[in-house]
Amino acid sequence: MSRATLIGERHCARRAWSLFQLAWVNFAQSDSATARPLLEEALALFREVADREGIADSFYLSGQLALSQGDTAMARSLAEESVLLNKEMGRRWGVAM
């Protein structure tokens, strides 16, 4: 892997985590309308760099967003995806959430 590619991936991962944190803050402030697009962009970037922890955490937060908006079926589906990924990675705290 070239240095430029590696730097690009690191930048992409950092941006994804920054967007995720911004989404979390907005969710915590009951601003789902702002949180959702931030989280969607973060998830796309996590997928681009194959960051499974980021993907799992994004599924979890997306599930929380869905639950807060009354979409229990979507919330459950996203929570199940998050748990599955966390189990595969051996992240016990992610399974317990």
CATH number at residue 67: 1.25.40.10
Give dist(CA 71, CA 41) in Å, integer.
21
pLDDT band with cut points at 50, 70 and 90 for residue 95: low
DSSP structural state of residue 90: T
Q: Is 67 helix (H, G, I), strand (E, B) or coil?
A: helix
Whole-number Å distance between alpha carbons of 38 and 30: 14
What's the mean pLDDT when you consider all of the chain?
A: 90
State the total domains in the chain. Answer: 1
Say if CB 41 and CB 15 are below 8 A apart. no
| 15 pLDDT more than 90 | yes
Domain residue limits at 76: 3-96
Average pLDDT over residues 14-33: 97
Which of the two residues, 11 and 97, has the higher pLDDT score? 11
Q: Which of 36, 6, 3 is nearest to 22 (CA)?
A: 36
pLDDT tens for 49-94 read: 999 999 999 999 999 999 999 999 999 999 999 999 999 988 877 6
Q: Given a cut of 50, is residue 4 above it in pLDDT?
A: no
